[in-house]
């Protein structure tokens, strides 16, 4: 199986929505565009097959495929009311399972929504997980929080790619006793394109998740307006987390062991297990 590349999933991430209760969902019409369906009529047939699969699996169609009415703009400033659906993660998985298998983006969507659903299943029973699956869950959370942090940093004055690289380094330096991203990369003995977050154990990932989430919150509270101020906030938040770890006598991040398997390898293994499992799971439907 080819190596999973998170950048390939950007189209699905861009159209993801969050409701007032913090739940993820995708609008069917947005998903149809990403999946390359030019006509809604063709995609609605896929939706119908996915609904039938949902019903036959014993799950509520109205819960996973709630329909809504939308107003869209037509030529000459005319408006038209159309049907759309707020698809749950599981609904999206059923949709791509029932899509045109000849489309490359359909196969990509199957992998994306399988991984997303598996992560949620794992998150629901986190304390019972083995180390690899804990890593999978926390790494997924970090990806989402990093998106929020990037937005908060941009609003705080971190605009260019170079400025964001300095901002990221500031956080790592605070948490890792002065080590930069490049330093940590070398310390872990990684190859050029391998990412340090993909080679962290669950304890190290959780420390970084706390750094990211607390920095994002602090940037919003302080209403920072310059990149320099944002860098200082990121560094000091991370440094406080490091000092707390020192005070508790726990192992500092740079001294934690580097796992042999990357997150991508674990994802492939987990998806393979799901395919081969005889236990009835949501992803088997």
pLDDT digits (tens, 9 = 90+) for 209-231: 999 999 999 998 988 889 999 99
- Do 138 and 238 fall within a single domain? yes
Last residue of a domain, one of 75, 94, 123: 123
What pLDDT was estimated at residue 13? Answer: 85
Find out whether 53 and 97 touch, Cβ atoms under 8 Å: yes
- Do 101 and 179 fall within a single domain? no
**Any domain includes 254:** yes
What's the mean pLDDT in 167-182?
97
- Do 162 and 204 fall within a single domain? yes
**Any domain includes 119:** yes
- Do 254 and 133 fall within a single domain? yes
Q: Tell me how far apart the alpha carbons of residues 84 and 59 are, in angstroms, rounded to a whole number.
A: 20
Find out whether 11 and 31 touch, Cβ atoms under 8 Å: no
- Do 194 and 156 fall within a single domain? yes
**Any domain includes 30:** yes
Residue 263: which of 86, 96, 137 has the closest Cα? 137
pLDDT in tens, 62-121: 999 999 988 777 677 777 788 899 999 889 988 998 887 778 888 788 878 877 777 777
- Do 131 and 96 fall within a single domain? no
Question: Does position 124 have pLDDT exceeding 60, yes or no?
Answer: yes
The CB-based long-range contact list for 8-11 (8 Å cut-off, 24+ gap) reads 8/108, 9/108, 9/112, 11/105
Q: Tell me how far apart the alpha carbons of residues 27 and 147 are, in angstroms, rounded to a whole number.
A: 20
C-alpha torsion 21→23→27→31, nearest 10 = 160
3-state secondary structure of 87: strand
- Do 256 and 147 fall within a single domain? yes
What's the mean pLDDT in 152-165?
95
pLDDT above 90 as % of the chain: 51
**Any domain includes 279:** no
Q: Tell me how far apart the alpha carbons of residues 212 and 169 are, in angstroms, rounded to a whole number.
A: 12
Domain that residue 11 falls in: 6-123
- Do 136 and 84 fall within a single domain? no
30 against 72, higher pLDDT = 30
Question: Does position 6 have pLDDT exceeding 70, yes or no?
Answer: no
- Do 115 and 146 fall within a single domain? no
Q: Structure tokens of 38?
A: 């030019």
Q: Where are the alpha helices (DSSP H) in 8-160?
A: 10-14, 28-34, 40-56, 61-64, 89-97, 104-123, 131-155
Among 31-40, 122-131, 253-262, the range scoring the smallest mean pLDDT is: 122-131
56 against 55, higher pLDDT = 55
């Amino acid at each position: 199986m080819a190596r999973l590349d998170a950048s390939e999933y950007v189209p699905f991430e861009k159209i993801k929505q969050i409701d007032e209760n913090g739940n993820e969902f995708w609008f069917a019409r947005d998903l149809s565009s990403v999946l390359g369906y030019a006509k809604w009529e063709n995609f609605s047939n896929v939706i119908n097959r996915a609904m039938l699969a949902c019903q036959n699996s014993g799950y509520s169609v109205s819960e996973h495929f709630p329909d809504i009415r939308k107003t869209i703009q037509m030529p000459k400033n005319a408006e038209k009311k159309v049907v759309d659906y707020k698809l749950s993660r599981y609904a999206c998985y059923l949709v791509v399972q029932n899509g045109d298998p000849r489309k490359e983006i359909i196969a990509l969507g199957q992998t994306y929504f399988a991984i997303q659903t598996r992560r949620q299943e794992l998150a629901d029973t986190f304390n019972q997980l083995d180390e690899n699956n804990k890593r999978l869950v926390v790494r997924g959370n970090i990806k989402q929080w990093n998106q929020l942090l990037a937005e908060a940093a941009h609003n705080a004055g971190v605009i260019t790619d170079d400025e964001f690289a300095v901002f990221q380094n500031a956080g790592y330096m605070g948490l890792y006793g002065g080590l930069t991203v490049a330093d940590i990369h070398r310390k872990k003995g990684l190859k050029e394109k391998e990412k340090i977050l993909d080679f962290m154990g669950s304890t190290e990932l959780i420390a970084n998740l706390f750094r990211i989430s607390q920095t994002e919150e602090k940037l919003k509270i302080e209403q920072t307006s310059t990149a320099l101020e944002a860098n200082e906030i990121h560094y000091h938040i991370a440094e406080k987390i490091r000092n707390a770890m020192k005070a508790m006598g726990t192992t500092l991040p740079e001294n934690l062991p580097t796992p042999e398997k990357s997150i991508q390898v674990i994802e492939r293994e987990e998806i393979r297990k799901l395919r081969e499992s005889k236990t009835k799971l949501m992803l088997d439907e």
